[in-house]
Amino acid sequence: MTIRIGNAPCSWGVEFAGDPRNPAWRSVLKDCAAAGYTGIELGPVGFMPEDPVELGEALAEHELHLIGGVVFRPFHDPEAWDDVLDGAVRTCKALVAHGAQHLVLIDSISPRRAPTAGRADAAEQMRASEWTAYRDRIAQIARMGSEEYGLTVGIHAHAAGFLDFEPELDRLLSEVSEDILKICFDTGHHSYAGFDPVAFMARNMDRISYMHFKDIDPVVKADVIAKGTGFYEACGQGIFCNLGQGDVRFEAVRKVLLDHGFEGWCTVEQDCDPTLDVRPVDDAVANRKYLENIGF
């Protein structure tokens, strides 16, 4: 079995390319390599340079592979289609330029869903026609990424979007062909949503092409769910704790991966609030050491 461990710019607080609080992209690459990772995600398109020569030289300098990139845009909003398509095309081109494999699709946070993150019983549901159009937008980008660019496309459930809870993910997977859409499975978001990530993995390993490792502080989770706290506010309260300190059973995650002969990348994603007085590289080091200690 060959499992490789990477990290992502969101672990340094990078959620949106134009956020003035973002650290310098070169410093993120430097920190990632220094913390013991051999790969990194692209982050939001536009955070790292789209000039393939400039980025390629920097990746080579730090001996990092580009793993993949995320399209974190409002698939739920038909009025935002141009924005979704722009992010997807630019991300695909960047990944192909560097030989990266994984295109990850995430429905971004919706004001209609933000107050009910982690509360499946209270979350607003789409109307039938709305769901159909939503599903078809995801399928269109998945087909483009897989057939036009040769990428492995994975759907990623995310708190406070319209693909938050396990039944919604199951429904999408049943309606979009596995030929164009795999799963990028995030352990933390699945726990945040109130479901068992290990059980989901055991049932779906044949379709999981890529892993995001994230842990959840159960005390913070209970508090933010009870209060309807927004996603980014929850990040600021430390809902995504260091690996091994939350309720995700990473030893069991490892066993499922081993039992199914998983090969490929598992990327640490510890979303954090860039306004806090923290050193993300320290968490990156601690997370890498934890994974080494349990056999990754």
CATH of the domain at 87: 3.20.20.150
Q: Tell how strand 208-213 and strand 264-268 pair up.
A: parallel
Average pLDDT of the residues in 234-254: 94
What band does 275 get if pLDDT is binned at 50, 70 and 90? low
Please report the pLDDT score of residue 174 as a whole number: 98
Please report the pLDDT score of residue 231 as a whole number: 81
What range does the domain containing 150 cover?
3-293
Alpha carbon of 170 to those of 117, 165, 203: distances in Å?
Answer: 18, 9, 11
Report CA Rg, the chain.
Answer: 18
d(Cα 280, Cα 277) in Å, to the nearest integer?
10
What band does 1 get if pLDDT is binned at 50, 70 and 90? low
d(Cα 163, Cα 182) in Å, to the nearest integer?
15
DSSP labels, 23-56: PPHHHHHHHHHHTT-SEE---STTSS-S-HHHHH
- Of 216-225, 234-243, 270-279, where does mean pLDDT reach its minimum? 270-279
d(Cα 56, Cα 91) in Å, to the nearest integer?
15
pLDDT tens digit string along 136-166?
A: 999 999 999 999 999 999 999 999 999 999 9
Domain tally, the chain: 1
What band does 271 get if pLDDT is binned at 50, 70 and 90? confident
DSSP labels, 210-244: EEEE----HHHHHHHHHHT--HHHHHHTT-S--TT
The whole-chain average pLDDT of the chain stands at 96
pLDDT tens digit string along 73-116?
A: 999 999 999 999 999 999 999 999 999 999 999 999 999 999 89
| 104, 184 Cβ separation under 8 angstroms | yes
